[in-house]
Amino acid sequence: MWRFIGFRMLQAIPVLLVVITVTFFLIRLAPGGPFDSEKAVIPEVQAALEAQYRLNLTLFQQYASYLGDLSHGNLGPSFKYPGRSVNELIAAGFPVTAELAFYALLVALVIGGIAGVVASLKPNSVQDYIPMSVAMIGICMPSLLLGPILILIFGIYLDWLPVSGWNDSPGDKILPAVTLGSAYAAYIARLSRAGMLEVMSQDYIRTARAKGLPEWQVISRHALRGGMIPVIAFLGPAFAGLLSGSFVVETIFQIPGLGRFYVQAAFNRDYTMILGSTIFLATLIVFFNLLSDIVAAWMNPRLRDKLRAP
Amino acid sequence: MTAPTISDLAQTEQGTSLWQDAWLRLRRNRLALIGLIILILFIFIAAATPWIAPYGYAQQNLELGASPPSAAHWLGTDIFGRDLLTQIMFGGRISLAVGFIATAVALLIGITWGAVAGYMGGRLDAAMMRLVDIIYALPFMIFIILLMVIFGRNMLLLFLAIGAVEWLTMARIMRSQVQSLRQQEFVEAAVSLGLPTVTIIRRHLIPNALGPIIVYTTLTVPSVMLLEAFLSFLGLGVQPPETSWGLLISYGAESMEEYPWLLFFPGLALTLTLFSLNFLGDGLRDALDVRSAKD
Amino acid sequence: MQFSVLKILCLVLTLTPMLACGGGESNVSQGNREGILHFGNGAEPQGLDPHVVTGIPESLIINALFEGLTVKNPYTLESESGVAQRWDISDDGMTITFHLNPQAKWSNGDPMTAEDYVWSWWRALNPAMGNQYGYMLYPLKNAEAFATGKIDDFSDVGVKAIDEHTLQVELNTPTPYFIQLMDHHSTFALHRPTIEKHGKATDRFTRWTREENIVSNGPFRLKSWQLNRRLSVEKSDTYWNRDKVQLNGIVFYPTENISSEERMFRVEQLHYTQTIPLEKIPVYRAMKDSPYANAPYLGTYYYLLNINKPPLDDLRVRQALSMAVDREKLNNTVLHGSNVPAFSITPPDTLGYQPPKVFSQNIEAAQELLAQAGYPNGQGWPGLELTYNTSESHLKIAVALQQMWKNALNIDITLANQEWKVYLDSVDQMNFQMARRGWIGDYVDPNNFLDLFLCDGGNNSTGFCDPVYDELIKRQAPQAISREERYALFNEAETRLMQQMPIIPIYTYTSNHLIHPSVKGLPPNLMDYINFRYIWLDKEQEAIE
């Protein structure tokens, strides 16, 4: 097991290096620079700006100096926000995004999990179709649409919840979490339904029933544990997806997260910020994919044996 | 677990009878059949739209502006006074094409990639999956901007861009499925029979991993349609006066309080498609599932 | 185990909404009670260094934190005392003497001196600084030469501290609008010891603007700055005119999403919004005591025509396109009557200047011109691409015009939207046929619009070049003795410009805000200029709706 993890950690280094290198050169290919604006900048000013950010060096010198800074953990100054370092922007935005993603995942688990389990108890009946259809709606509704609808209903017409903000007033995390999580609820509903159906036909469930356990205990004690395996394998990539996909929700709800910085950085050609957040997110993605592989391997007895004795 | 026996595997005619069986089972599933009919109807309407649409898709009536459903405009008009029904019909052509073609591209690449990686294992697997990690991690926005700048805008690129992101998860799912199937007796038997690798992957691994793949595919189609709207808004893909369901929905979302029909009807079209696909997908999976068929 | 986690989750999720019910007092009523203005500011400020930043959100915050030599009266836009108590202009208009208010202090209590200005202008003009608005000081003698590195000695630049409270300025030519420029942040004085404490004077990225470091001289001072969340300022107790400051503080919100901003306004989280979604205009306009404030704004929305590329190299095609646009209809339908149709580059009544109207909408004449150019009823039309940057409103306008041209002239226009920086690059490289453009005046003077189209104008982007036009704008107008004569020269130049039609003017901008009825002292004006010192909140005012 540890050898497997160690091996994968080693693999992460070339992955990150390739990501850094490709991103570094890719963003320079995109037309328009960080200092382009609607009003033309005189050449002397342009030159001074470039000198302040070392853009006057050759591309390879810039690359080398970037890697040099990176090895000290320094992601450089932001182009768009002079006076802020990329480290600082990520440190400010990431905890918020991570918290939002965590709540969203909870929402997805609760809604999707309940819908999936309920549906699996009586497959191909009304009890199956209705919860699954409800869960499906989440995926037809992009956050761009669901967010404003929820705000109108709960924020404006009913006046129960705040329409925006983060940590400003009680309850202001509910709508963003539901908005972001609902798309994932449909996935979890489908995965857990399939997983439960698989488990319910297995021998040990029959044994448990034969022992005379009440049905709810059969489900909660025995079936859920096995039926949720596919869901758990899905959680790693889903969490990574939530982290990098929270931009729209953050914008709609005025949440000061990393998603806004990341997407705006691409539009602003904030080179250091794009690179910094890409590296940061890439590390997380690699980590969560590794985690989900480990969990999947652990759950699968045959693979686990193989890992123990490679 | 029950799996096909070795004698099954040796039969060459097995494919046809499997599909015939599946079709028989599918026909008995009423919801799946309804889904199939709706989808065929939508595809038919999309194909015939240029001849049956009530208005021209670019035809404006600025003085009329946004108007609710009426006798002249069954589903109302948008802010330019264009007939919404016409817009939805023309939009369907693009959305259905993007939804199905881009998903097919993603499926093709994802399934092949995942199956090969999962089956071969070892260094090749590691290298292939690390490439997936790398593409996951690259900034998508920059990638889109570059595609647009370097190649200009066209529909082919749209499929490429969407396929390029959607195949990744597909590959991961396929790989984990294949990995667990790889150890099962019937695959090991096929290997010991000396069947070529390509045949084993195509004949035995992919069909047995279809369940999760179908589930994931039905979820991919709507997200592809919505991604198309986002890319079109960024300038890659369809340009006005052409439109798509995704674009209609995102414009409708902006004025949902003032002109709710502009959101409702395109949303309905997308939701109907999705539900049909979903029921059809479930039906297909059940129909193809050898195990449940034997119950 | 999973099941118990699920159970707890269910419990938590069903309980929290109950706790949240009610929501408490709105920002607006609390703000009215405490004298705090809640201000939708459009975006997170890039920074707060007045010699670095370029955008409107930054300039609004800086106007609360800092004060220039002069400020504007928001009702009249006339300049009035800021740090300078008064100023004298010499008879030839070439020398201005500013008399600084001895009461003017920095927020740490240090007195403000004329020397602060000399040092700050050295910084603002220093080529190493890369100040994109350095040109605001170019009317100063030798300022441009210094900023472009042609001279190194700043003592040759026309600014001198005569004594502690007297600043003398020498200009290149008489520049009537120079006094106005003194309230632009690029001309502000900064506190030298603070800046030098945190880095080199010309560094763009030091920490001197952080809440714990910044020293400013305006009616407010920085209280807290939470990234992408809010920025709060509080009334300064060192400001010379503090008795006239009526607000106790302002909270600026980075409201990027205009729909979210509108919803925040609706639930009274904001007193003021930067803008309003187009489709909400009729709703708010219909209200009694409407919070919708719409006023002419010093800016023009137009399409650039690349006169080097066919078919736009033919004047008749350019004229036909421009004359076929029904600006009234566009404004009354898609734009909900929120703007003013434009037929020239300079907005009407720019400090008394009236632009010429050399053409009007005329479909028959447009068809005739197009036929003369070789495309009768659109036959043989080679196609034309309209480039615009990604945005809902640009898209709507482009779609409406596309169809107008199709109906009137039977020609096809393809639309190409580009991401902002790509679009800027295309325009800069003149890599387009027709492109959307907008220009907002930096100061109220026709010169600010007309100098766009000089042969070497950095923002010309059309290929238009007329030596007579350059002569009128660059040589003759600055020498004019009277305002009438100067405006006549501008009029002549603008007539020449519009006869060549290198642009299709579409509309004159308006400012569009939602303003809560309790906000007073925030009048509409041509510059969309806000002087926070004038604002007060009327506690008695009923809520809207």
C344 has a pLDDT exceeding 90: yes
C399 contact B CB<8A: yes
Cα–Cα distances in angstroms (integers) from residue A115 to residues A138, A177, B52, C1, C99, in the given order: 12, 18, 41, 19, 75
pLDDT of residue A305: 52
Q: What is the mean pLDDT of chain C?
A: 90
Contacts of A237 in chain B (CB under 8 A): 169, 172
Cα–Cα distances in angstroms (integers) from residue B102 to residues B136, B210, B222, in the given order: 18, 19, 11
Half-sphere exposure of C463 (CA within 13 A, CB side): 20
B22 contacts: CB under 8 Å, gap ≥ 6: B284, B287, B288
Structure tokens at B251: 């414009």
Task: Answer for the pair C249, A115: CB distance below 8 angstroms, yes or no.
Answer: no
Structure tokens at C215: 């020293």
Q: What is the mean pLDDT of residues A35-59?
A: 84
Contact C269 A174 (CB under 8 A): no
Say what percent of chain A tops pLDDT 70: 95
pLDDT per position as a tens digit, B265-293? 998 998 888 888 888 887 887 777 655 43
Point out which residues pair with C389 in neighbouring strands. C418
Contacts of A44 in chain C (CB under 8 A): 127, 147-149
Pairing of strands C384-389, C249-253: unpaired
Domain segments of chain C as ranges: 3-47+218-273+515-537, 70-199, 295-510
What domains are there in chain A, each with its CATH number? 86-308 (1.10.3720.10)
pLDDT per position as a tens digit, A119-173? 888 877 888 888 888 887 777 777 888 888 999 999 988 888 888 888 888 788 9
Integer Rg of chain C from CA = 26
Helix (H), strand (E) at residue A95:
helix A86-121
pLDDT of residue B16: 55
Distance from CA of C229 to the nearest CA of A (A): 6
Minimum CA–CA partner of C10 in chain A: A110
- Exposed e or buried b for every residue in A255-273, given b needs 16+ CB within 10 A? bbbbbbbbbbbbbbbbbbb
C438 has a pLDDT exceeding 60: yes
Rounded Cα distance, B292 and B282, in Å? 13
Task: Answer for the pair C215, C504: CB distance below 8 angstroms, yes or no.
Answer: no
Q: What's CA A304's distance to the chain center, in Å? A: 27
Give the neighbours of chain C: at least 3 Cβ pairs within 8 Å.
A, B
pLDDT of residue B295: 35
Residue type, C122: W
Contact A22 B215 (CB under 8 A): no
Q: What is the mean pLDDT of chain B?
A: 81
Q: How much is the ipTM here?
A: 0.87
Contact A256 C256 (CB under 8 A): no
Helices (H), C66-131: 114-125
Rounded Cα distance, C396 and C374, in Å? 30
Task: Answer for the pair B144, B161: CB distance below 8 angstroms, yes or no.
Answer: yes
Strand ranges (E), C158-208: 159-163, 166-170
Q: Which CATH number fits domain B38-44+80-294: 3.40.50.970, 3.40.50.1820, 1.10.3720.10, 1.10.1040.10?
A: 1.10.3720.10
pLDDT of residue B17: 64
Q: What is the mean pLDDT of residues C410-421?
A: 90
Minimum CA–CA partner of C46 in chain A: A81
Backbone angles phi, psi at B176, to 5 degrees: -70, -35
Q: What is the mean pLDDT of residues C148-154?
A: 90
CATH homologous superfamily for C295-510?
Dipeptide-binding Protein; Domain 3 (3.10.105.10)
Contact A278 B138 (CB under 8 A): yes
Distance from CA of B138 to the nearest CA of C (A): 19
Tokens 């898609």 sit at which residue?
C334
Helix (H), strand (E) at residue C220:
strand C220-226
The closest CB to that of A300, out of B126, B180, B270, belongs to B180
Window 155-214 of A, Cβ < 8 Å to C? 155-156, 159-166, 169-172, 174
pLDDT of residue C16: 46
Minimum CA–CA partner of B56 in chain C: C403
C95 has a pLDDT exceeding 60: yes
C511 has a pLDDT exceeding 60: yes
Window 310-329 of C, Cβ < 8 Å to B? 329
Minimum CA–CA partner of B258 in chain C: C279
pLDDT of residue C8: 45
* DSSP three-state, residue C121: helix
B99 contacts: CB under 8 Å, gap ≥ 6: B221, B222, B224, B225, B228, B273
Contact B235 C277 (CB under 8 A): no
Backbone angles phi, psi at C463, to 5 degrees: 90, -5
Among residues A144, A100, A172, A174, which one has the least CA distance to residue C27?
A: A172
Helix (H), strand (E) at residue A219:
none
Contacts of B178 in chain A (CB under 8 A): none
Rounded Cα distance, C262 and C290, in Å? 14
Rounded Cα distance, C53 and C57, in Å? 10
The CATH topology of domain C70-199 is: Dipeptide-binding Protein; domain 1 (3.90.76)
Rounded Cα distance, C500 and C478, in Å? 24
Pairing of strands C36-40, C249-253: parallel
Q: What is the mean pLDDT of residues C461-484?
A: 90
By CB atoms closer than 10 A (0-12, 13-18, 19+), residue B15 is exposed
Say what percent of chain C tops pLDDT 90: 72
Please identify, in words, the CATH class of the domain defined by C3-47+218-273+515-537. alpha beta
* pLDDT band of C544, cuts 50, 70, 90: low
Q: What is the mean pLDDT of residues C490-509?
A: 95
Contact C16 A174 (CB under 8 A): yes
A228 has a pLDDT exceeding 70: yes
pLDDT of residue B186: 79
A281 has a pLDDT exceeding 70: yes
Tell which of B248, B282, B294 to mutate to test the A interface (max A CBs under 10 Å). B282
* pLDDT band of C21, cuts 50, 70, 90: very low
Task: Answer for the pair C523, C271: CB distance below 8 angstroms, yes or no.
Answer: no
pLDDT of residue B6: 43
Q: Give the sign of the dihedral formed by CA C121, CA C127, CA C133, CA C136.
A: positive
